Structures are given as C-alpha cells and as structure tokens.
Structure 1
C-alpha cells in the first residue's frame, strides 16, 4: 500500500469532522430548555418590591416599570424598558415562552415609546398568563393582571392586557421573555 492511498481515509475523516463542526457551529441551541426552572418569584423579593413602590408613592415619587420589574425578578439590567431585550442578550436566557418570574419585554410603540416590562406571576393556560407590573396605570402597581396571547402564530409576539375587569385593551407587540438565572 502506498503512502498516497493511506492518506485517503484520513482526508475523508477530516472532511467528515469539518462538516460536523460547521453544522454544529451553525446550529442554534434553544435559549431556554423545556425543563427550565429557577424557582419562580421569590416572595420576599416580591414583597419588598411592592413595599418600595408604596413607599415611593407615599413620598410623591414616581413608580416606574423598570425598577419594579428589576426588584421582583432580580434581573439586573438598567435603562428604559425598550432596551431590556437587547441588553439581556448574552447575559440572561431569552425566549418566547412565558415562565413564572420571567420578564415580558414589550416593544416600543408610538403610544409607548419607552416600551414596558412586566413580570410573569402565573400561567393560566397556554395562551393566558398573569403579570405583576408598575406604571401600566400611572404610578400604580398592578398585580395578577390578565394577559392573553393574540398572536397569529401563538408565539406571544402580540398580547392584550385586561386593564379593566372583563375588558382586554389594545394589542401590544412583545419582544419576548427574559428569564432570571436564579436567586
């Protein structure tokens, strides 16, 4: 057997390895495993976030969605709500499935130019959740507000919120959900 023929199997093996590496490099792992569980919302953290908002209102200070969501979720992102989705990339897992304790990131719109964020507090059904958030109603904290997925593809890219009992309002675009990485 010549040296040239002996090298052929190695070339084939190298080509196979290169193909596998390229395939693996191009594949996208899911942002969130199906069994993702970080424990939901910490009751003490939630209590402190609500209490802080009450104290701020009592002092005549504004209550905003960002500090409230940061205090409840533990996700340490700063800046206006519309920046959270982009800032979370590479820092926190992101996806399109609601999970208790995750931050739902609303896209900026003409009527909501700074975006909005809310913390998922309950999963009611595959197309309905409850959220806790601040400043949906000016300077107030809203707890367990119903949210329904009205997206055409059932992917939570468009939602409506029950701002008044029994009445769901306008449709809002959603970037997705930012998942805390633990306590």
Structure 2
C-alpha cells in the first residue's frame, strides 16, 4: 500500500515538476502576455500596429509597458519585452523570453536606448552569450502601455498639476 502511494506520488511529481516542451521553448509573445497587462495577439512585429486604438503607445519607458521591436532580417517576427524597471531615460531593466537562447526566460536584464534622438527607436539588449548589451542595435517602435500604467501615469500628472 505504501509502495503504491509512493509510486503514485512520484509519478504525479514527475508530471507536475518536469517542464513541458512548450515551457522549454517559450516565445516572447506568449511570455509577454503571461506577465503583463497588455493582451495582444499576432507576431511580436505586429504588436505595435495591433495596439493602435486599444492601448496607448509612446516613446517613454514605464514599468509594466511592453517594448515592441520591429521585424528585421535577424529577427523576422520582431520581439516584445516587458519593462520591469526604469533606471533612467536611456536604461531600463526588462523581462523577456527567447532572446539569448531558444525559449530562455531572462528577468531584469539591461536594455539601452542607443538612438540619436533618445526615442528608443534603436535598442541594445543584454545578450547572455556575449555577456554584453549586444553586438548590434535592434530597431524598436516604442512602448505599449497597459491601461493600468496609463491610468497611474495620468493620475500622477493630475496630482502634480
């Protein structure tokens, strides 16, 4: 009886504790939807246009916003990452998946605005294999703000004004 109970527990634990193939190959879009209040569909390259009329968009980073990257030859489906913390006007910490390795989740990694205009249109992102903020800049559209972030920012402006 005890052997059966132990065997059943171990079988259950193996199913629950082991990552599934989907978890091992987590994509940036799936991860961004899981951890943010921005709920869009489509490839990452489409999020910026898909957000129009549903979410506010802009060029200033805010915690909780989604940074939407353009599609390029190197990343044809684009990329999305969630802002964890704003360090200053040109540095943020992001949470994202599938950047430094297939399905790899990274939390609190550096992203740097390297655009001439300071508008987050060219971004370098921490890349674990090189232990640097990347060898190339990636084009980005800007930030998609969840309604909760937009409401909080508006309330803060009203309180100051």
TM normalised by structure 1 equals 0.67
Cα deviation for residue 144 of structure 1 reads 0.5
Indicate the SS of the match to 2:48.
helix
**Equivalent residue for 1:19?**
none
- Corresponding position: 1:88 with 2:88: no
Q: How many residues matched?
A: 129
**Equivalent residue for 2:33?**
70
Say if 2:112 and 2:124, in contact at 8 Å, map to a contact too.
yes
**Equivalent residue for 1:146?**
110
Structure with higher Rg: it is 1
Q: Which has the higher contact order (CA 8 A, sep 6+)?
A: 2
- What aligned pairs does 1:3-152 form with structure 2 within 5 A after superposition? 58-61=19-22, 62-136=25-99, 137-152=101-116
**Equivalent residue for 2:144?**
178
Runs of 4+ in structure 1 displaced over 3 angstroms?
A: none
Say if 1:57 and 1:63, in contact at 8 Å, map to a contact too.
no
Indicate the SS of the match to 1:58.
coil
TM normalised by structure 2 equals 0.75
Cα deviation for residue 74 of structure 1 reads 1.8
Return the alpha-carbon distance in structure 2 between the equivalents of residues 107 and 56 of structure 1. 36
Among 159, 164, 168, the residue aligned to 2:133:
168
Cα deviation for residue 182 of structure 1 reads 2.1
Unpaired segments ≥5 residues, structure 2: 1-15, 150-161
Indicate the SS of the match to 1:182.
helix
Cα deviation for residue 162 of structure 1 reads 1.6
Indicate the SS of the match to 1:139.
coil
Return the alpha-carbon distance in structure 2 between the equivalents of residues 133 and 99 of structure 1. 15
Return the alpha-carbon distance in structure 1 between the equivalents of residues 61 and 18 of structure 2. 29
